[in-house]
Amino acid sequence: MPGNPNKNGIPKKRMERFVYWTLGLLLFWAGAVSATDLDAQRSAFRKAIMQAESGNWARVEPWLSQLEDYPLYPDLRAGWLRNRLGRVPDAEVAEFLAAYPDLGFTPGLRKAWAESLARRGRWETFLEVYEAHFADGDSTVFHCNALEARIRLERTQGVVDDGIAVWLSPYSQPSACDPVFAWLKDTGALAPEHVTERTSLALEAGQFQLARYLARSGPAGEKARVETWAGMHADPARRLARLEGSGSDDRALMLYGLKRLASRDPARAAALWERYDSRLGLSGDAADAVQRRIALIHAWRHLAMGRGLLSALPDSAVDDDVRVWRFRLALRDQDWTGAALYLEDLPDGIDGDQDGRTFWQARAMEASGDEAAARVLYEDLAGHRGYHAFLAADRIGADYQWRHAEAVPDEALIEELETRRDILRAREYFFTGFNYRGRREWRRALATLNDAEKAQASIVAHRWGWHSRAIATASKTGLANDLEIRYPLPWRQWFEQKSTAARIPAPWAYGIARSESLFMPDVASSAGAIGLMQLMPDTGKRTARAARMPYRGVQTLRDPASNITLGTRYLGDMLNRFGQNRVLATAAYNAGPHRVERWLPKDAQLPADIWVETVPYSETRGYVRRVLAAEAVFHWRMNERTRRLAEVMPPVKPTGGG
At 34 the pLDDT is: 73
Lowest mean pLDDT among 27-31, 52-56, 350-354, 427-431: 27-31
- Helix, strand or coil, per DSSP, at residue 580: coil
Reported as a pLDDT band with limits 50, 70 and 90, residue 245 is: low
Give the DSSP H or E segment for 122: none
Average pLDDT over residues 109-125: 98
- Bridge partners (DSSP) of residue 11 are 5
Provide the β-strand partners of residue 606: 652
Q: Distance (Å, rounded) from C-alpha 467 to C-alpha 469? A: 5
CA angle 435, 440, 445 (to 5 degrees): 120
CA angle 141, 168, 151 (to 5 degrees): 50
Contact between 470 and 485 (Cβ < 8 Å): yes
The average pLDDT across 293-311 equals 97
Give the pLDDT band of residue 12 (cuts 50, 70, 90): very low
Whether the CB-CB separation of 211 and 229 falls below 8 Å is answered with: yes
pLDDT of residue 275: 87
Question: What whole-number distance in Å separates Cα of residue 258 and Cα of residue 90?
Answer: 55
If phi over 0 gives left and psi between -120 and 50 gives alpha, with beta otherwise, what is residue 279?
A: alpha
Contact of 466 with 414, CB cutoff 8 Å: no
The pLDDT of residue 248 is 67
Query: What are the C-alpha distances in Å from 12 to residues 3, 89, 389?
Result: 6, 14, 64
pLDDT score for 32: 53
Residue 289's Cβ-side half-sphere holds a number of Cα atoms within 13 Å equal to 11
Residue of 222, 453, 516, 631 marked catalytic: 516
Tell me which amino acid residue 275 is.
R
Cα distance between residue 529 and residue 540, in whole Å:
10
360: Cβ contacts below 8 Å, ≥ 6 apart: 327, 331, 339, 343, 350, 613
Report which of 105, 38, 41 is spatially closest to residue 464, judged by C-alpha positions.
38
Q: Is the pLDDT of residue 24 over 80?
A: no
pLDDT of residue 6: 44
Q: Does the pLDDT at position 189 exceed 50?
A: yes
DSSP 305: T
Mean pLDDT of the chain: 93
Q: What is the pLDDT of residue 163?
A: 98
Distance separating alpha carbons of residues 291 and 277, to the nearest angstrom: 10
pLDDT mean over 397-414: 96
Structure confidence by residue, pLDDT tens digits, 64-76: 999 999 999 999 9
Residues in Cβ contact with 391 at an 8 Å cutoff, skipping those fewer than 6 apart: 359, 609, 645
Per-residue pLDDT of 320-377, as tens digits, reads 999 999 999 999 999 999 999 999 999 888 888 899 999 999 999 999 999 999 999 9
Cβ density class 294-324: b for 16+ within 10 Å, e for less: bbbbbbbebeebbbebbeebeeebbeebbbb
* Lowest-pLDDT choice from 233-237, 501-505, 530-534, 652-656: 652-656
Cβ–Cβ contacts within 10 Å for residue 1, how many? 10
Residue 557 · residue 540 · CB < 8 Å: yes
Q: Which residues pair with 350 in a beta bridge?
A: 353
Read off the DSSP letter of residue 60.
T
Residue 2 has pLDDT above 50, yes or no: no
With both helix axes pointing from N to C terminus, report the angle between 73-83 and 35-53 in degrees, rounded to the nearest 10: 10
pTM confidence score? 0.90
pLDDT band at 3 (very low <50, low <70, confident <90, very high): very low
pLDDT over 90 at 217, yes or no: no
Positive or negative: CA dihedral 533, 539, 540, 544 = negative
pLDDT > 90: percent of the chain:
87
User: How far apart (Å, rounded) are the C-alpha atoms in residues 468 and 627?
Assistant: 16
pLDDT in tens, 601-648: 998 999 999 999 999 999 999 999 999 999 999 999 999 999 999 999
Mean local confidence (pLDDT), 420-437: 96
Once rounded to an integer, what is the mean pLDDT over residues 572-577? 98
* Strand partners for 88: 85
Whether 498 contacts 564, CB under 8 Å: yes
* pLDDT for residue 399: 97
Q: Which residue has the higher pLDDT, 14 or 380?
A: 380
Distance CA 402, CA 251 (A): 57
Least confident piece of the model among 124-133, 162-171, 249-258, 507-516: 249-258
Question: Residue 23 pLDDT more than 50?
Answer: no
* Three-state secondary structure call for residue 524: strand
Amino acid at 101: P
Per-residue pLDDT, averaged over 287-302, amounts to: 96
Helical spans, DSSP H, in 247-399: 251-264, 266-280, 285-300, 306-312, 320-332, 336-343, 354-367, 371-382, 387-396
Lowest mean pLDDT among 296-305, 471-480, 500-509, 512-521: 471-480
Angle made by CA atoms 257, 259, 265, in degrees to the nearest 5: 90
Instruction: Check if the beta carbon of residue 302 is closer than 8 Å to that of residue 599.
Output: yes
C-beta of residue 424 within 8 angstroms of C-beta of residue 41: no
> Could you say which DSSP state residue 59 is in?
G
**464 in Cβ contact with 430 (< 8 Å):** yes
pLDDT given at position 10? 44
Average pLDDT over residues 277-299: 92
Q: How many CB atoms lie within 10 A of CB 91?
A: 9
Quickly state the pLDDT bin for 433 (edges 50, 70, 90).
very high
d(CA 619, CA 657): 26
Q: 100-114, 151-165, 216-230, 353-367 — which is least confidently predicted?
A: 216-230
Q: Closest Cα partner for 557 from 588, 586, 536?
A: 536
Tell me the torsion sign for CA atoms 231, 233, 235, 241.
positive
- Burial of residue 101, with CB atoms counted within 10 A of its CB: 0-12 exposed, 13-18 middle, 19 or more buried: exposed
pLDDT above 80 for 156: yes
d(CA 405, CA 397): 24
Closest CA to 74 of 122, 26, 18: 18
Give, rounded to a whole angstrom, the gap between the first and last alpha carbons of the chain: 82
Asked if 418 is an active-site residue, the reply is no
What backbone phi and psi angles, to 5 degrees, belong to 535? -95, 140
CA nearest neighbour of 461 among 453, 476, 451, 471? 471
Render pLDDT for 46-61 as a digit per residue (tens, 0 to 9). 999 999 999 999 999 9
